Chain A
Amino acid sequence: MKFTSIGIPALDEHLGGGILKGSTVLVIGTPGSGTEFFAKQFASAGQEAVTYFTSTERDEDILNVMREYGWRTDLKIVNVGTRYYESVLAKKLEISRFRQEGVTLGDIRKFRDEDSMKEANFLTFLSYEISKLDPPFRVVINSLDFFLENYESSEVLMAMRTIKSHTQHSESVTLMTMLKGVHESKIQSSVEDLADVILELDREKAGHEFKKYIMVEKVRNKPAMVGIIPCVYDKTGIKPAP
């Protein structure tokens, strides 16, 4: 089996059996287009052990969605967002206290051997966590926007390349989500360039409702497979319209 599921059986079929093992998938869309939802459906599929990195959701929110749709809940959630805001907020609070009250000798000595005051680099953390995973793994990174907002884009791209090649060599799969139209086009193009498969979730107003589409924008080495697939959301998740 050289394929693994993208999370939507009919889409797997459209892709000729699924996505190739070793693929990095990018899903993009405007806010509200369903990229986060798709990320969970992606996490529900395949045989690999799932690690879900999130920067925007609470663990509970993710699990609730998974339960609601009857998807697997045995995924490992790594909440980068919580860690980030806890450490940044804690540090900011501490700084304001020191600025207000001054730094005592005790404060200076206190953390001497620890680097607890040092702001963790979450980009490094992400790469490191992924490097530790036993292959084959299924990784979701929701979302790249968090990293692009907080780190230099060149650093983010370098980390993504590392993750991509690790995914490739270990015959695993990685999905990254990214908002459309918020980053510089050069950055967006670079991210799109390293993805093996790009899906864009789109919608169009038709009368009183939205028509929804999955646009398959890129399948590496298979240009014939790109196309626009109308889709619907039901109790099984997202799927091509009948």
Chain B
Amino acid sequence: MPQKSGERERCVTGIEGLDTILYGGIPRANTILLTGSCGTGKTSLALEFLIHGAMKNENSLFVSVTENSEKLLTNIIPYRFFDKGLIKSGRLVFVDLPIMYERLGMTKPELSMEEIDLLVAAIGSLAKELGAKRLVVDSITSVCYKLKTSEKIRDFILNLGKVLSDQNCTSVLVGEVPATSTAYSSFGVEEALPDGIILMANMERRGDLLRTLQVIKMRGTMHSRAKYVLDLTPMGVLLVPLLKGGSTG
């Protein structure tokens, strides 16, 4: 993507429709919140973002919080473009955050402020060691359960965003919200902090449950705010505009 003067360099997600919505990709080094209720395709989208990065020789790190990453890999959509060699070569790395908690002696249900700084530093130094240009935390909400207070959540997300941004790493924090929620985040504070929010949702239409995607906010670029219908296919995520009253879906 040729860089226009004064415009920020882009991290091309490789998800075609999404790059179009974002006028070329996520502004590099942004930290964005990818949020939605369960089954909306957050993990698949985040994973695809990393795979495309690894294919372009950008080291990519998936920090799994909720699910054991080995299990996650067995459930991965059999993307036609996904080459397991990316994992072997170390371009795409999966790390389970619970193991980091354990190594750092953070086994108590709630982390102290000092421990949050240590955790951020540890994730930052791991990203640095790997030279990660793309990072996903799935999910940030699970980390928030260990932080509990808004101050701590704020502290964690702000500092994590800063550490990763300083390394020119583009990060996607996956957030979970209850299906009935109209908010963008479970704890209410996460959503105010990132540089961007992508909302994924389920939408019922004519007896069909559609997945939708909508970019709510994205600093550093213009973007469409329209709702798109998302399809998870072995070719990757496909996005088409949701036509109001049209025959799509």
Contacts and interface: CB of A to CB of B under 8 A. Distances in A.
Interface in A76-125: 91-92, 94-95, 98-99, 102-105, 107-108, 112, 117
B105 A95 contact: yes
Nearest to A112: B99
Contacts of A104: 125-126, 129
Contacts of B88: none
Nearest to B61: A105
Contacts of B125: 102-104
Classify chain A's interface size: 10 to 19
Interface residues of B, number: 16
B105 A91 contact: yes
Given A95-B105, A98-B122, A105 B100 contact: no
B103 interface: yes
Contact of B121 (A102, A105, A108): A102
A99 B104 CA distance: 6
Contact of A102 (B95, B96, B126): B126
Contacts of A112: 99
Contacts of B103: 94-95, 98, 103, 107-108, 117
Q: Is the interface of A mostly helix, strand, loop or mixed?
A: helix
B102 interface: yes
Interface string B102-146: 111100000000000010011001100110000000000000000
B104 A95 contact: yes
B221 to A, nearest CB: 32
Contacts of B95: 105, 108
Contact of A105 (B104, B118, B129): B129
Given A91-B105, A95-B104, A99-B118, A105 B99 contact: no
B126 A117 contact: no
B102 A117 contact: yes
A108 B118 CA distance: 16
A112 B96 CA distance: 10
A73 B93 CA distance: 56
A19 B125 CA distance: 63
A103 B120 CA distance: 11
A92 B104 CA distance: 9
A108 B62 CA distance: 13
Interface string B72-116: 000000000000000000000101100110111100000000000
Contacts of A102: 121-122, 125-126, 129
A98 B104 contact: yes
B126 A103 contact: yes
Contacts of B100: 103, 108
Find the residue from A91, A94, A108, A117 having the highest chain B CB count within 10 A: A108
Nearest to A119: B107
Contacts of A108: 95-96, 99-100, 103, 126
Nearest to B107: A119
A112 B121 CA distance: 22
A105 B105 contact: no
A107 to B, nearest CB: 6
B229 to A, nearest CB: 38
A115 to B, nearest CB: 10
Contacts of A92: 105
A91 to B, nearest CB: 7
Given A94-B103, A95-B105, A103-B104, 13 more contacts: A98-B105, A99-B105, A102-B125, A103-B100, A103-B125, A103-B126, A104-B125, A105-B126, A105-B129, A105-B130, A108-B96, A112-B99, A117-B103
Interface of B: 93, 95-96, 99-100, 102-105, 118, 121-122, 125-126, 129-130
Q: Give 4 closest A-B pairs by Cβ, nearest first.
A: A95-B105, A102-B125, A98-B103, A103-B103
12 contacts: A94-B103, A95-B105, A98-B104, A98-B122, A102-B121, A102-B126, A102-B129, A103-B104, A104-B125, A108-B96, A108-B100, A112-B99
Interface of A: 91-92, 94-95, 98-99, 102-105, 107-108, 112, 117
